Homo-oligomer: A and B are copies of this chain.
Amino acid sequence: MTKKRAVSPAGPAPATQRILEVAEQLVQTRGFNGFSYADVAAELGITKAALHYHFAGKAELGEALMARYSSRFEEALAELDRHHLDAADKVDGYADIYTDVLRHRRMCLCGMLAAEYDTLPTSMQREVVAFFEMNEVWLSQTLEEGRNEGTLAFAGPPIGVARTIMSSLEGAMLVARPFDDIARFERVVDQLTSGLKTRPEDAGGSGRPGSVRVPS
């Protein structure tokens, strides 16, 4: 048995992983047009040329970033589903995912890329839209579930409420970052979700049952 990990034989090499982590942080804080190969290389102590070995171009790096982010996000949603929470708690868990991103002083990756949408490679544009659609589908289903089980109450089709919640969370992150104020974000989250719930919220916003976060 070699030094290479025996389990999960697939998956990116450690070097590739570290590149993605650094690039992700840069895009989420500075934007896709606000970072360069030189930034990533400097942070990792390697050269720009080495990066091109792992990702042919900036577009490919961007696509890998989004694929990773989306699948991580999807996994976090699946994890919420696995916890047998009621829909009201799932919605809270959903908002917590966003809160955790903001806690790392980051913007949602796809929210950031949505701002830069017109300048992105078309492959990345498609992934931005797909990310939002994935969010909407999960939220719609959860909202409908909540209405059926009686933990959530709202008027009209779930998709409308889902779109309001998702885009409002993106906007709350967008605005909270210049103020460097997580509490501002959390208050907006409470405003948005408290109107949906059929039972009163217990005081503390943290430590909810089955809290799930998208790593880093």
Contact = CB atoms under 8 A, between A and B. Distances in A.
| Contact size range, A | 35 or more
- One complex includes copies of this chain to the number of 2
Contacts of A177: 114, 117
Contacts of A195: 195
A167 B172 contact: yes
A17 interface: no
A29 interface: yes
Contact of A34 (B119, B129, B164): B119
A191 B161 CA distance: 7
The A interface is mostly helix, strand or loop, or mixed, namely: helix
A116 B115 contact: yes
B29 A178 contact: no
Interface of A: 29-31, 33-34, 107, 111-112, 114-119, 125, 128-129, 132, 156, 160-161, 163-164, 166-179, 184, 187-188, 191-192, 195
Given A34-B119, A107-B115, A168-B171, 13 more contacts: A29-B118, A33-B33, A111-B171, A112-B115, A114-B174, A115-B174, A117-B177, A129-B178, A163-B184, A163-B187, A171-B173, A171-B174, A195-B195
